[in-house]
Amino acid sequence: MIIPQVPDVETSRRKHTHTSLLKPFAPPFFSYLLKQSFFRMPITRIAIGRPQEATHPDALKAALAEFISTLIFVFAGSGSGIAFNKLTNDGATTPAGLVAASIAHAFGLFVAVSVGANISGGHVNPAVTFGAFVGGNITLLRGILYWIAQLLGSVVAALLLKFATGGLEVPAFALSAGVGAWQGVVFEIVMTFGLVYTVYATAVDPKKGDLGTIAPIAIGFIVGANILAGGPFSGASMNPAVAFGPAVASWAWANHWVYWVGPLIGGGLAGIVYDLFFINTTHEQLPVTEY
């Protein structure tokens, strides 16, 4: 989930070849406002990217890293659910089971982000990639490549689990009894906002300093904490890929859209909010001794 520098984005900005959603329609005064730091909307820096970017060796290596990292994460997270069901003979979820799921996902994500950080940035999540895109930190073409890799990684992990366990059901994300679809969407929006906001604060922000070294830990922690909070309600996906693979393996699609709409809205909002208010401002961090 650590967002790497994307040379293609910067190059396209310098050559003025990026695709802005607002600039072509902006009158002169509005264009002036958009250039000011107090009215700097991240969405104005969205870049499509060049076609050759999708086949560049570095982009393909990054996509492979996203595939492997997502496979690792989903295998650990969904595998913990299968293990719990086997140990309890498909019994009801218990507080201990919720804590175990939280720990498994936190540890799995910590590792998945860490091993992919230096190659792809370790997104491991389409919502994180989308949040990076709306903040102008990744091109659309590279983002689509990441999405494909993440979804494939999740599907392969779920199918491997199904095969390795002798055909046991891979638990698909589902809303708990009494939880409506839009309530689930709200849960997913808020939890994913917290996740992507954490990614921006610890991995994307140029002012992060040494905080960047603990980014994978912080990202794993927020996911684990959100599972404790939202697991009994929406399942706490926060990640369309994590929901997609098990849905394919179990062919269970009830309310599956919740796990796309909620995380993408939450991730997009986090990218816009953090980039708009906290990146490239005149704020200066106080010396450590003055905290």
Structure tokens that stand for 182 in this block: 């839009």
Question: 57-87 and 95-116 helices cross at what angle (nearest 10)?
Answer: 160
Q: What is the mean pLDDT of the chain?
A: 86
Q: Does residue 14 carry a pLDDT above 70?
A: no
Q: Which residues of 22-54 are buried (b: 16+ CB within 10 A; e: fewer)?
A: eeeeeeeeeeeeeeeeeebbbbbbbbebeeebe
Q: Does residue 282 carry a pLDDT above 60?
A: no
pLDDT confidence band for 53 (50 / 70 / 90): confident
Structure tokens that stand for 31 in this block: 């264009």
pLDDT digit string, tens, across residues 85-117 = 999 988 888 999 999 999 999 999 999 999 999
